[in-house]
Amino acid sequence: MNDRTKYQIMKEREFLKGYHSGDAGAEKTDQEQKLPSIPSLKKRRSQQTIALPVEFDRLGISSDIWDLIMRRQSRRRYAPEAVSLYELSFLLWATQGIRKFAGHKEQVTFRSVPSAGSRHPLETYLFANHVAGLSRGLYHYLPGEHVLELWDPAQDYEAELTRALCGQHFAATAPVLFVWSALPYRTEWRYGLKASKYILLDAGHMCQNLYLACESIGCGACAIGAYDQDHMDELLGFAPGPSVDPQYECVVYAAAVGRVREGQ
């Protein structure tokens, strides 16, 4: 290991740590300076939206938390049948669903997953390949309305996704690929330089909810941390980084989802 690599490792380890006593003299955050934040929810971009059903009781959801935790595993092989729109709706609610709104000047959302300071910097995008009642394409989830908006219809993303996912063909062809992005400034506004750590912790909370929610309805998930940043951001139309623009957005995580294949 050369000196350059050692230095980079030490630098990255500092990212893992919490506050230090010397941080008290650091520059005030934008919240402390009473500067405006960005909205907690993205505005609708498309006129074509799909309302998601909320009658989750018809799914026969397992509530045995012990059993769900014991069965939870990464699943890379999926049954040939489609994921239903009810199942997809439940998984979206379980990972980003809004339980209530609060605040007057600054809107705050309380969701199905924890987030540092309730900032919720993450957005959910779906590459739908095999969802009953849903045409193939790229979708964006709008949690404030619990609807999907269609960003790009009926495109075959297999080759592009395989490349963007560093050759992980099973994920590129999964019935649904969840892709999560971050708008870092939502969290930076409150936490400054500590925001990046909190954003990634938020992503971990969300993906674990996906795993458990999948297990509860007979689906399986596999988290994807290995992807080509430039290619994945380009697929979603994000501006290339690095950037300090408050509206900057980038992919941070993904997960393949499908129905559990019998015998697994």
Domain 45-259 CATH class label:
alpha beta
When comparing pLDDT for 159 and 22, which is higher?
159
Q: Tell me, what's the pLDDT at 156? A: 85
SS (H, E, C) the chain: CCHHHHHHHHHHHHHCCCCCHHHHHCCCCCCCCCCCCCCCCCCCCCCCEEECCCCHHHHCCCCCHHHHHHHCCECCCECCCCECHHHHHHHHHHHHCEEEEECCCCCEEEECCCCHHHCCCEEEEEEECCECCECCEEEEEECCCCEEEEEEECCCCHHHHHHHCCCCHHHHCCCEEEEEEECCHHHHHHHHHHHHHHHHHHHHHHHHHHHHHHHHCCEEEEEECCCCHHHHHHHCCCCCCCCCCCCCCEEEEEEEEEEECCCC
Task: Give pLDDT tens digits for 5-27.
Answer: 999 999 999 989 998 877 766 78
Kindly state the percentage of the chain with pLDDT values over 90: 89
**Does position 262 have pLDDT exceeding 90, yes or no?**
no
Q: Tell me, what's the pLDDT at 261? A: 84
Q: Taking the domains of the chain in order of start, what are their residue ranges?
A: 45-259
> Average pLDDT for residues 24-48, to the nearest whole number?
90
**Does position 196 have pLDDT exceeding 70, yes or no?**
yes
Q: Tell me, what's the pLDDT at 259? A: 97
> Average pLDDT for residues 219-224, to the nearest whole number?
98
